[in-house]
Amino acid sequence: MTRYAMVADLRRCVGCQTCTAACKHTNATPPGVQWRWVLDVEAGEFPDVSRTFVPVGCQHCDEPPCETVCPTTATKKRADGLVTIDYDLCIGCAYCSVACPYNARYKVSFAEPAYGDRPMANEKQRADPARVGVATKCTFCSDRIDYGVAHGLTPGVDPDATPACANACIASALTFGDIDDPDSKASRLLRENEHFRMHEELGTGPGFFYLWEKK
pLDDT digits (tens, 9 = 90+) for 45-79: 889 999 999 999 999 999 999 999 999 999 999 99
- Sign of the C-alpha dihedral computed for residues 131, 134, 135 and 140 taken in this order: negative
Residue 111 has a pLDDT of: 63
pLDDT digits (tens, 9 = 90+) for 128-180: 888 999 999 999 999 999 999 999 999 999 999 999 999 999 999 999 999 99
How is residue 30 annotated by DSSP?
Answer: P
Whole-model pTM: value is 0.92
Q: Which residues of 77-107 are buried (b: 16+ CB within 10 A; e: fewer)?
A: beebbbbbbebeebeebebbbebbebebbbb
Residue 117 has a pLDDT of: 75
Which CATH number is associated with domain 4-214?
Answer: 3.30.70.20
Whether 116 shows a pLDDT value over 90: the answer reads no
pLDDT digits (tens, 9 = 90+) for 89-102: 999 999 999 999 99
Whole-angstrom Cα distance, residue 22 to residue 17?
9
> Which percentage of the chain shows pLDDT scores above 90?
81
Whole-angstrom Cα distance, residue 165 to residue 136?
17
Whole-angstrom Cα distance, residue 33 to residue 203?
27
Whether 214 shows a pLDDT value over 80: the answer reads no
Higher per-residue confidence, 32 vs 15: 15
Whole-angstrom Cα distance, residue 120 to residue 112?
10
Closest by alpha carbon to 50, among 25, 15, 101? 15
Residue 127 has a pLDDT of: 81
Whole-angstrom Cα distance, residue 166 to residue 208?
12
